[in-house]
Amino acid sequence: MNLSLFNIFFFLLLLISPLDVSLARHCVVEGPLQVHIINKLPPNGPPLKFHCASKDTDLGEYSPAPEEDFNWSFCELIGFRTLYYCHFWWYSKVQMFDVYSDPYTCIKGQSAFNFLEYCKWEVRENGFFLEQYNETEKAYHMNLLYDWS
């Protein structure tokens, strides 16, 4: 009897293994999400520098040219626990905040629902703007979320 339970267990393990491998290649919860950080700073100033990471992934330090779009894709974890943050430097200004923490609003605590599969940030002289949906106008706008500190 023990041998037959072992055989059943082994057979089920063989059936599940290909499924497990295929899930590792594809997003489980929904399609891949993206974060975009676009440098909208003037070209005649010092370069923008930033470093982005999550708990498991260090994206490194970047210094994009003006108008350059730095972006990455990822799969949301089950239970919506993915969080990416960035640390920004420009002149003597410094700022650090979460750039992704929620698949529906990009940032937890925001009320504007994001119908897109990406979060788009623009870094400007006066702060950090997130593309958000305006329910009244039925359109997307860049809204100031954080000032430079």
CATH code for the domain of 52: 2.60.40
Q: Is 123 domain-assigned? A: yes
Q: Which domain holds residue 86?
A: 27-146
Cβ(19)–Cβ(105) below 8 Å: no
Query: Residue 9: its pLDDT value, please?
Result: 53
Indicate whether 3 belongs to any domain.
no
Q: What is the pLDDT of residue 26?
A: 67
Judge whether 63 lies within some domain.
yes
**Tens digit of pLDDT at every position of the chain (149 positions):** 455 665 665 554 444 444 433 344 467 666 789 999 999 999 999 999 999 999 989 999 999 999 999 999 998 867 667 899 999 999 999 999 999 998 888 999 888 877 788 999 999 999 999 999 888 888 899 999 999 98
Cβ-based neighbour number of residue 12 at 10 Å: 10
**In sequence order, what are the beta bridge partners of 35?**
72, 119
Q: Which amino acid is at 98?
A: D
| Distance from C-alpha of 100 to C-alpha of 82, rounded to nearest angstrom | 8
Provide the pLDDT for residue 8. Answer: 60
Domain contains 36 = yes
Q: Which two tokens stand for residue 117?
A: 């599969």
Any domain includes 8: no
Residue 39 contacts residue 123 (beta carbons within 8 Å): yes
The sign one gets for the Cα dihedral 125, 101, 131, 61 is positive
Residues 6+ apart with CB under 8 A from 130: 106, 107, 110, 119, 120, 121, 142, 143, 145
In a domain, 18, yes or no: no
* Structural domains of the chain, count: 1
Backbone angles phi, psi at 53, to 5 degrees: -165, 165
